[in-house]
Amino acid sequence: MPSLLHRDNARSKLFTRRLAILAGGQLTLFGLLIGRMYYLQVIESERYKVLADENRINLRLLPPPRGRIIDRYGEPLAINRLNYRIVVIPEQTGSVPMTLDVLSEIVPIGDNDRRRILREVARKRRFLPVTVRDNLSWDEVSRVAVNTPDLPGVMIDVGSTRAYPYAAELSHILGYVAPPSEADLTGDPLLELPDFRVGRNGVERIYDLALRGRAGTSQIEVNALGRPIRELARNEGEPGHDLVLTLDLNLQRFAAERLAREEKSVVPGLPPEERSGAAVLIDVANGDILALVSVPGYDPNEFNKGISGPLWRSLLSNSRTPLTNKAISGQYPPGSTFKMMVAMAALEAGLATPELRVSCPGFLEFGDNKFHCWKKGGHGALDMVEAIKQSCDVYFYEVARRIGIDRITQMSRRFGLGHTLGLDLPGERAGLMPTREWKLATTGVTWQQGESLVAGIGQGYVLATPLQLAVMTARIANGGFAVTPHLTRDLIAGRRLAARPAVSFPPVGVSQQALAIAARGMRGVVNDPRGTAYGARIVDATMAMAGKTGTSQVRRITAEERRVGLRKPSQVPWKERDHALFVGYAPVDNPRYAVAVVVEHGGGGSAVAAPVARDILRAAQLRERERPEPLLRVAEQPPDRRS
């Protein structure tokens, strides 16, 4: 009996221990569960709330409105316009190919667009919209809207696109915008938005970051499949700055139209040819560029839309090079417009005086070579002012022989030739002012003295851009101050005006006597009956101009051609004709504007370029009387800064 009781007690103790162990394990597990629940729901609650919101809320970037570009009077040059586009939502249409077939009968849909649409439909979720066509005209929008009941899944969407109201006249200044390339992608998600554009050329490129602005955000609630349900919050971001240029739109358009207009055909019986050239109008006091023209131009709107292959190839193959900004990238022999540099170099070196007289029989013999004057019979004996006035080549051959190429180049550089001027546009070129060292390093051949004679009339190795010629003229006109050109006047952000600070320009380091001789010669060129541009003068004395003609050869004239007589322009291929040049300033007594005009293969400077320059200078002075004050104060800004 005791042994049986002992066994029962042992079993009871064993059961009690096991029960205690089981209860302890359950309590431990329950404690761990409670602790884990506390950790997740209390300590980590904020983290999981954020994760839940990330699954529920999509944060989408909103492209900011690009800043406008306006002229000095507030006229819009580059704006943002509504972009009407057709989108299709695949899940709402029975068959996307059939829908496109019907839609193509209403608006044109090319084969390339069709393939793109079908690729995007296959790649995206079926509830996401796919763009079919954008930049629709109002007529196309109306036709689609009328037929939407028969086009399930098709709708009109509205976005924003860059637009240039004055396309060809301003294409080389404004440039254009285009979708970012692979090289542009820096990790900024804004650059990956379908509608986002970046500056590709012109001031659109130089001031791209300021014009872009900052992206906005939109918080969209979505379901488990990612389908949008509603918008929870929206931040429009910060629009881009408005950019104010120094340009005067009226003068820019006038100069472009006047430069492009051929007065008469070179070849009898054929219509006038399309002109190719450049013109620059600058304020001689502060360097404001009022007009900067290169013709022919192109339509930058085509690049924003997506330029077609045939159009791109036609622009590249055009012999008039419409894609090149000739005003800052075209490099031309300056011809006789360069003679003031030679005259001042001689005066400053003390190797010639204004009274120096040289006899011109129509040529100068130097060694075994004969250097011809443009006037076959010669000019007779001339002093320096008369030589500039009548553009005597023989006079400047002799002066260049005395002073040498290095002194000519040193003087030219003071007036802005032979180096870039830092204009706020891409593509500016330096031209060329040769030296002995340059030729030896470049060609391995020493400088020949005969090359100095050719450089003395702006030919040979000497090259300059129209912008440089305008700056050279401005520095002569303003009394010898090294004015530098610029295109931008202000950056406007909201209601703040960040104006360009006033700048005082240093003197170029040339005596007033030398400047006065150059100015007297230029005045006589236009206003003396013996001057080469007398026929292109401004008759109104209050607006009279001074200037200098130039005709630069693009090929060498052979001795045989001189013997039998030069061919008429109509007998010479366009590419072999001389360039026509003119530089000038006005009004003569109180200079305000300087201009340079180059007409590629246009012929004589006095007959072709001088009338263009005259009309531009006259228009600038008339414009000043009409509207003398540019956009300067915040109060003058329109209340709505966006288009």
Q: Work out the number of other CB atoms within 10 angstroms of the CB of residue 509.
A: 10
Please check whether residue 474 is in contact with residue 616, taking contact to mean a CB–CB distance below 8 angstroms: no
- Of 308, 243, 295, 302, the residue nearest 79 (C-alpha): 243
| Adjacent-strand bridge partners of 339 | none
| Amino acid found at 472 | M
Q: Work out the number of other CB atoms within 10 angstroms of the CB of residue 641.
A: 17
- Of 162, 188, 185, the residue nearest 175 (C-alpha): 162
The residue count of the chain comes to 643
Structural element, H or E, at residue 449: helix 449-455
> What phi and psi, each to the nearest 5 degrees, are found at residue 251?
-70, -35
Whether the bond between 466 and the residue before it is cis, its omega within 30 degrees of 0, is no
Tokens, residue 310: 């045939």
Q: How far is CA 488 from CA 242, 267, 287, 624, 629, in A?
A: 11, 42, 11, 19, 16
State whether the Cα torsion 451-453-454-455 is positive or negative: positive
Determine the Cα–Cα distance for residues 214 and 203; give it in Å rounded to an integer. 19
Q: How far is CA 11 from CA 20, 37, 488, in A?
A: 14, 38, 101
Q: Work out the number of other CB atoms within 10 angstroms of the CB of residue 486.
A: 20
Tokens, residue 577: 């004709």
Strands 593-599 and 579-586, sheet pairing: antiparallel
C-alpha dihedral (600, 602, 604, 607), degrees to nearest 10: -120
Q: How far is CA 295 from CA 252, 255, 260, 276, 330, in A?
A: 12, 10, 6, 5, 11
Determine the Cα–Cα distance for residues 64 and 218; give it in Å rounded to an integer. 12
Which of helix, strand or coil describes residue 579? strand
Determine the Cα–Cα distance for residues 542 and 593; give it in Å rounded to an integer. 14
The alpha carbons of the chain give a radius of gyration, in whole angstroms, of: 37
- Of 272, 258, 301, 410, the residue nearest 346 (C-alpha): 410
Tokens, residue 152: 């399930």
Q: Work out the number of other CB atoms within 10 angstroms of the CB of residue 144.
A: 21
- Listed in order, strand segments (DSSP E) in 226-319 are 228-235, 242-245, 277-283, 289-295
Tokens, residue 401: 């022989």
Burial class for 529, CB neighbours closer than 10 Å (0-12, 13-18, 19+): exposed
Q: 64: alpha, beta or left, given left = phi > 0 and alpha = psi -120 to 50?
A: beta
Please check whether residue 490 is in contact with residue 203, taking contact to mean a CB–CB distance below 8 angstroms: no
Q: Any catalytic annotation for residue 336?
A: yes
Tokens, residue 69: 């570009």
Q: Which of 294, 336, 412, 552 is catalytic?
A: 336
Q: How far is CA 512 from CA 289, 352, 434, 475, 593, in A?
A: 25, 16, 26, 12, 20
**Which residues have a catalytic role annotated?**
336
